[in-house]
């Protein structure tokens, strides 16, 4: 039996993704409009289940 997973793995709009592996953990960084705009950071050990971490960069609304 083959296990299949459907996209999207993450719900929402996550443009410009980049993934890096550090030992057994994957980190996903992407731009986001969910946190008015900023850069979101998530981590996973299986590339399917992601935990959102604190945003790594945000700008106040008036500076954008």
pLDDT by residue (tens digit) across 13-59? 777 889 999 999 999 998 877 666 677 889 999 998 889 887 576 66
Nearest by Cα to 44 from 20, 15, 14: 20
Does residue 53 lie in a domain region? Answer: yes
Q: What is the pLDDT at residue 61?
A: 59
Does residue 62 lie in a domain region? Answer: no
Which residues are CB-neighbours of 9 under 8 A, at least 6 positions away? 47, 48, 50
Does residue 2 lie in a domain region? Answer: no
Does residue 4 lie in a domain region? Answer: no
Taking a C-beta distance cutoff of 8 angstroms, is the pair 30, 48 a contact? no
pLDDT higher than threshold 60 for residue 12: yes
**Alpha-carbon 24 to chain mean position:** 17
CB atoms within 10 A of CB 40: 24
Please state the domain count of the chain: 1
pLDDT higher than threshold 90 for residue 10: no
Beta strands per DSSP E along the chain: 18-22, 25-32, 38-44, 51-58
Does residue 7 lie in a domain region? Answer: no
Does residue 8 lie in a domain region? Answer: no
Q: What is the pLDDT at residue 57?
A: 64
Q: What is the pLDDT at residue 55?
A: 59
Note down the domain range covering 38.
Answer: 18-57
């Amino acid at each position: 039996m083959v296990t299949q997973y459907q996209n999207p793995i993450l719900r929402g709009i996550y443009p410009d993704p980049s993934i890096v592996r550090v030992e057994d953990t994957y980190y996903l960084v992407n731009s986001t409009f969910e946190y008015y705009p900023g850069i979101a950071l998530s981590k996973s050990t299986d590339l399917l289940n992601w935990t959102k971490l604190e945003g790594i960069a945000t700008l106040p609304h008036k500076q954008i």
